[in-house]
Amino acid sequence: MTTVLITNDDGIASPGLHALAAAAAAEGLEVIVAAPAAESSGSSASIIGADRDGRIRMERREFDGLAMPCWSVQAAPALIALIAAHGAFGPVPDAVLSGVNRGANIGRAILHSGTVGAALTGGASGARGLAVSLDVGLHPVTHEWDAAARVARSVLRVLMASPPGTVLNLNVPNVAEASDREPRAATLAAFGIVQTTATEAGEGGLRLTVADLGPFEDPESDAALLAEGHPTLTAIDALREVALPVTERG
């Protein structure tokens, strides 16, 4: 049977994690849940987690509605994906599903996302990877976790039919009707959900602030399509060498 690891960067108690695990189980996959004991947002592909003695602490957990093994791990999500590839939680997973994240992961800022970092680590370890995020905005009234999980379930069929190493990044609008919409193929926007700027630089340090994005230059980018209410899907790869720059010699 095909085995998938469900992880996230919002922590083991996240309802988004539980919704994604239930969706994967409903798809007939063997599901293992292993997620950080505490929130690890912004951890990228960090493999921080071992104690001073070199051990990675983990414990079994149980949640209503989840009839699969669940582990709370004192580690960043990418490290969880890495040790899963070495059999830490049983069968080596054929795919790493990360999410559902609270907040969109779009544009080049996905470099910093713990949700995306776990999916990329799964792909680099020989599995497939899928990062799933819900575009809740800054002040959400509701969280449509089930809608995001249903869209993810439709993408799962594409993912599992793809070669090992495939990594997909899915973003879903925070509306119930999103589950009825096909994901649109999207490019990565130049920035993420917000643009970070440095202000108040001084001798003692500086302060970072965020600003809303301006008009989208690429109407086919994940930022532009998500703003229009479309789920977006982007194939990503962070581990590929490129040609060295050519320089002229005097």
Reported as a single tens digit per residue, the pLDDT across 202-234 is: 666 666 655 555 566 789 999 999 999 999 999
pLDDT at 239: 79
pLDDT single digits (tens) 146-184 = 999 999 999 999 999 999 999 999 999 999 999 999 999
Q: Which residues of the chain have pLDDT under 70?
A: 192-216, 248-250
DSSP the chain: --EEEEE-SS-TT-HHHHHHHHHHHHTT-EEEEEEESS--TT-TT------TTSPPPEEEEEETTEEEEEEEESS-HHHHHHHHTTTTTSSPPSEEEEEEEES---GGGGGG-HHHHHHHHHHHTTSEEEEEEEE--SS-S---HHHHHHHHHHHHHHHHTSPTT-EEEEEEESSGGGGGSPPEE-BPPSS-SSEEEEEEEETTEEEEEEE---S-S-TTBHHHHHHTT--EEEE--S----PPPP----
- Who's near 53: CB < 8 A, 6+ residues apart? none
Kind of pairing between the strands at 58-63 and 66-73:
antiparallel
Q: How far is CA 63 from CA 8, 15, 91, 131, 149, in A?
A: 16, 10, 21, 22, 17
pLDDT at 215: 60
Domains of the chain, start order: 3-189+218-235 (3.40.1210.10)
Global confidence as pTM: 0.91
Question: Phi, psi (5° rounding) for residue 81?
Answer: -65, -35
